[in-house]
Structure 1
């Protein structure tokens, strides 16, 4: 590689400028549709989505001076399978890629000349791109040829979901392959599987949202949809954790947040569709069992001092905090006198030294009470 580090930084900057060029993508798509007759039958969004993610993946590979990753090649395989099902011959697929390449490199050369980048440096970048493109073409040809031997629809959904939740360029490529509109915000839905009610709740949320994808992931049921849920927290519906909207590249992070929303909603008594933003404090606390254990150990003596009354005190204090310190409301819920509620709150404050009337004291009190009652 002849290009030095400083010159390569200029190449990386050039790649970023090419990727950010708002006029490039429409020009590439127009060229493909006008020169490849079979592509004219495909939706513009389909071609645009695939072109965008392939261009982005190629740019990142060249900037990083690396070959395509196996995860990126797996997404390329899915593109080939999809084109095979659409009846698009492999030579047409490869022809579309070549047309895209010509348009992209024509723009790159134009910007490189204006930026004072030498021909040798640009050649180094082109050689890296050609290596990347060769690997992509090889996988395209093989996957297109072997398309009839793919798995059944549910397996494909599970595999696509795995790649979506991987995040990054792999998720972007997969989102385009599954038909999600390029640049559209995506939402992740998570619920506990195992019963028809939970499954039906997720299906209701995805109805009418257009393109959507659902699959079992570990011990959860996960769906990715292009629009927000249609019902709000409340009632007796099962909890469905929600995160979004995010770009396809951020689906992995959104998935973790949606997963965290489920126990947080359950801990705070919510049901139905619950966005992580509505239970962020609870999710943050519950996601740190090590700190919860430290808090419980710190107040172990207080727990022993309360003895048999510890659970009743903890439930009362927690309910009191969740009811905005309304003793009358808690008394009705727990079927006790208002003074009993006040006495238990005062007893908790005395033995723990935590003042639940103060902001951070209330947080510690809720968290400690949640830890004390978690296994009961």
Structure 2
């Protein structure tokens, strides 16, 4: 299939592939366009993309299809993405985004170099044949690995449920999973959606992770390190028999962290008071009922006052910090705190008064959001 001018096109493609800004641009495009791979490390995407580009360029230069060595690498890629939980459609989509960016740049470079479009098209046809064989091997490898992963996940999910039931069944489940039955285990709870956090949990040498009741739950032999990004609740260490209670505490920690805008891994002991508050809907109802007249008296200013008091308390009673957070003048914060104290009779400068004030304002704002959502 090689013809006169073929080498000049291959040289051009090699120059395009070697441009310093190409790979970062491709990786950015892939992570932006294909949501399912956005949580993967850029270095992961870049490494596999670079290897595929190098293999394709060698094949074009030799005028051949993929070798078994190249297909073995592709099979490893399919297996890796399956284990990472990336659907095959997303893997193929990422490759398509990369191809489109590379060939678009190759067409521009060919036009500038005066290379005939027909010759570039012939090279592209050979590439398409190479890519088709690569995609076929990728799909087979991904499906085989995905089947194995799903079977393993089903087994792990069953064990995870038994662990979180607590009691003697949990001790047996821990032994079956290879988790230590003494020394304590840790339970982490987060909202699903952070692919990076989920992958970090799955990549740990020990531990079980799965989706239960709409949450991402992990049982781990060691406490995870601090992680920036989304909030995650953590409880432990606990014996296997106590993991059911630990899961409830981790969920309380997550709820408490979310209520104050905290992110990262948050241990329940670090938000014990907030966790207790979030877990007592009955006392929250009593508190709001007791101060219902105060909410009515504030009228249209109720929400701004609640926001100011809450921000002021969460800022350690620093007026300037609360004002900056709310984009208002510091005197506005002072006035709203004073107004709150007048209508409720709660002294927010007192230690226990501050707790009641924060709890009441949080309850007011949650109720207000519920009314707005219903409307």
2:217: which partner in 1? 222
- Structure 1 stretches of 4+ with a deviation exceeding 4 A read none
In the TM superposition, what are the counterparts of 1:320-335 in structure 2 within 5 Å? 320-335=312-327
Taking structure 1 as reference, are residues 241 and 206 closer, same or farther at Cα in structure 2, changes over 3 Å only?
Answer: farther
Q: Counterparts of 1:259 and 1:300 in 2: how far apart (Å)?
A: 29
Q: Counterparts of 1:354 and 1:187 in 2: how far apart (Å)?
A: 39
Q: How many residues align?
A: 219
Equivalent in 307, 329, 347 of residue 339 of structure 2: 347
2:198: which partner in 1? 202
Q: Counterparts of 1:157 and 1:181 in 2: how far apart (Å)?
A: 16
Contact 1:205–1:231 (CA under 8 A) maintained in structure 2? no
Give CA-to-partner distance per residue, 1:86-121, whole Å, 9 cap, x none.
Answer: xxxxxxxxxxxxxxxxxxxxxxxxxxxxxxxxxxxx
1:176: which partner in 2? 175
| TM-score, with structure 1 as normaliser | 0.56
Equivalent in 293, 297, 311 of residue 303 of structure 2: 311
2:360 corresponds to 1:368:
yes
Q: Counterparts of 1:182 and 1:283 in 2: how far apart (Å)?
A: 27
2:332 corresponds to 1:337:
no
CA offset at residue 207 of structure 1? Answer: 3.7
Q: What is the aligned-residue RMSD (CA, Å)?
A: 1.5
Where 1:215 maps in the other structure, the secondary structure is strand
Q: Counterparts of 1:331 and 1:300 in 2: how far apart (Å)?
A: 26
Where 2:328 maps in the other structure, the secondary structure is coil
Give CA-to-partner distance per residue, 1:230-261, whole Å, 9 cap, x none.
Answer: 125xx5x1111111111111111111101111
Contact 1:206–1:229 (CA under 8 A) maintained in structure 2? no
Where 2:189 maps in the other structure, the secondary structure is strand
Where 2:266 maps in the other structure, the secondary structure is strand
CA offset at residue 371 of structure 1? Answer: 0.3
In the TM superposition, what are the counterparts of 1:3-152 in structure 2 within 5 Å? 152=151
Q: Counterparts of 2:310 and 2:180 in 1: how far apart (Å)?
A: 44
Where 2:218 maps in the other structure, the secondary structure is strand
Give CA-to-partner distance per residue, 1:200-251, whole Å, 9 cap, x none.
Answer: 213324544x21101111121111110111125xx5x111111111111111
Contact 2:323–2:333 (CA under 8 A) maintained in structure 1? yes
Structure 1, unaligned stretches of length 5 or more? 1-150
Contact 1:202–1:223 (CA under 8 A) maintained in structure 2? no
Where 2:219 maps in the other structure, the secondary structure is strand
CA offset at residue 320 of structure 1? Answer: 0.5
